[in-house]
Amino acid sequence: MVVREIAVLGAGIMGHGIAELAALSGYNVRLYDIAEHFLRQGMEKIKWSLSKFVEKGRLSREESSRALERISTHLELAEAVRGVDFVVEAVPEDLSLKRRVFADLDRLAPPSAILASNTSTLPISEIGEATTRPELVVGMHFFNPPVILPLVEVTAGRRTAPSTVDVTIQLARSMGKEVVVCRKDVPGFIVNRVLAFIMNEAAWIVERGEAGVLEVDSTCVYKLGLPMGVFELADFTGVDTTYRVVESVLGRSGMAGALCPLLRRTYEMGYFGRKTGRGFYQYTGADWERPPIPRELADRVDPVRILAMGVNAALWLLRNGVASRDDIEKAIRLGLNYPKGILAFGEEYGLSRIAETIRMLSQKYPALSEYYRPEALLEGSADR
């Protein structure tokens, strides 16, 4: 299958970025949204982004103009998807909404068109069941901003055809992206499954009074070398988004009771991070503002306490054939910008130590024994 015409549904933070990327890669793009002002805002952001590429010498003015000419905007879904080869849905993370959108797409898009969702956590299989073509429904998760971050996570639903996965991989690569494949439709896929367990456990450390937010984030930045502390990252991406990711991953994995109350309280209070001026930190509204994280606090938290559940989640993915080791490590390095893969971190600190930490937590908090269950690949592991 040759992809020439692409429809992108949703002109918001992800949709306009995907549309820009596709146009820069030479595709004709139909950008759809439900209101004119959403389309106008999306196009303004695309123009701003392209102008920055021109300023930095990464694009010529002619290339920028040609990319803009490849994008048309649409308020009618039927018009947006008429004759397209591939659709990328980037509407809000609501399963019922996505299922309604896919049912409409099934009715309006060409029968041969592949229907992809940019969802970061929601089940591709359940989205595909809203159509009569689940074999042509696939997950194509870009990372924000799509024109900058190099990773695309491709996820197969239970009934997704291998040829659909292959076309999606080739499309992502044609846009200059590195691709990882999530072979099974599991909660959180690869990146967000690992991140959800790390974020939730970091919250439990604070909730239980073992350490404060600053101490955890200082350990992340100055001991582990992460680009941001986990709480800083939650504020940057939006505590509302982070909460929904963790809630979805744990809930769909049968561990809803393990969701840390600190995350729920922060979400329910409307402290969504930088965009609201307050999250786990407070903000003045300055551009590119980062909270001050003192280096001297980095020795107060054992890095293993932060990493252990993420390593456990990665080993679960590996044991269950969800992804290869190489794809898991690539996903974490490129999707989260970690200096090394999560399994490499586990081996550096010692898999036996990871297992011991999780067993200790299981014994200390027996009500969460299902959550604190060491992976089979950890049990009896011999550190290299």
Q: Specify the domain boundaries for CATH 3.40.50.720 within the chain.
A: 5-182
Confidence of residue 285 (pLDDT cuts 50, 70, 90): confident
Instruction: Given the residues 20, 89, 153, 232, select the one marked as catalytic.
Output: 153
Please, what is the average pLDDT of the chain?
Answer: 95
Instruction: Given the residues 93, 117, 141, 215, select the one marked as catalytic.
Output: 141
Instruction: Taking residues 361-377, report their average pLDDT.
Output: 94
The answer to whether residue 268 is catalytic is: no
Of 78, 176, 36, nearest to 11 by C-alpha is 36
Tokens 């499954």 appear where?
193
Instruction: Specify the pLDDT at position 40.
Output: 97
Q: What is the CATH number of domain 191-368?
A: 1.10.1040.50
Q: What gap in Å lies between CA 77 and CA 72, rounded to an integer?
A: 13
Instruction: Specify the pLDDT at position 70.
Output: 97
Tokens 């076309």 appear where?
167
Instruction: Specify the pLDDT at position 384.
Output: 47
Tens of pLDDT, residue by residue over 72-108, are 999 999 999 999 999 999 998 899 999 999 999 999 9
Tens of pLDDT, residue by residue over 301-359, are 999 999 999 999 999 999 999 999 999 999 999 999 999 999 999 999 999 999 999 99
Confidence of residue 288 (pLDDT cuts 50, 70, 90): confident
> What element of type H or E holds 72?
strand 71-74
Q: What gap in Å lies between CA 234 and CA 226, rounded to an integer?
A: 14
**CATH C-level class of 5-182:** alpha beta
Instruction: Taking residues 134-145, report their average pLDDT.
Output: 96
The answer to whether residue 153 is catalytic is: yes
Residue 381 has pLDDT above 70, yes or no: no
Instruction: Specify the pLDDT at position 69.
Output: 97
Instruction: Taking residues 261-286, report their average pLDDT.
Output: 94
Instruction: Identify whether the C-beta of residue 334 lies closer than 8 Å to the C-beta of residue 178.
Output: yes
Instruction: Taking residues 249-276, report their average pLDDT.
Output: 95
The answer to whether residue 72 is catalytic is: no
In 10 A of CB 232, how many CB atoms? 25
Please state the separation of Cα 217 from the chain's center in Å: 20
Q: What's the distance, Cα to Cα, between the start and end of the chain in Å?
A: 45
Is the alpha carbon torsion for 260, 263, 265, 267 positive or negative? negative
Instruction: Given the residues 192, 200, 312, 381, select the one marked as catalytic.
Output: 192
Instruction: Identify whether the C-beta of residue 87 lies closer than 8 Å to the C-beta of residue 114.
Output: yes
Of 276, 266, 221, nearest to 242 by C-alpha is 266
Instruction: Taking residues 11-26, report their average pLDDT.
Output: 96
Instruction: Specify the pLDDT at position 2.
Output: 87
Confidence of residue 30 (pLDDT cuts 50, 70, 90): very high
Instruction: Given the residues 49, 64, 118, 120, select the one marked as catalytic.
Output: 120
Q: Specify the domain boundaries for CATH 1.10.1040.50 within the chain.
A: 191-368
Instruction: Taking residues 244-259, report their average pLDDT.
Output: 94
- Listing DSSP states for 135-164 in one string gives GGEEEEEE-SSTTT--EEEEEE-TT--HHH
Instruction: Quote the radius of gyration of the chain (alpha carbons, Å).
Output: 21
The answer to whether residue 356 is catalytic is: no
3-state secondary structure 314-353: HHHHHHCCCCCHHHHHHHHHHHCCCCCCHHHHHHHHCHHH
Q: What gap in Å lies between CA 315 and CA 155, rounded to an integer?
A: 18
> What element of type H or E holds 236?
helix 230-237
Read off the tokens for 262: 């600190």
Q: What gap in Å lies between CA 277 and CA 241, rounded to an integer?
A: 15
Q: What gap in Å lies between CA 181 and CA 144, rounded to an integer?
A: 18
Read off the tokens for 13: 């933070």
Residue 144 has pLDDT above 90, yes or no: no
Of 72, 130, 67, 71, nearest to 98 by C-alpha is 130
Residue 382 has pLDDT above 70, yes or no: no
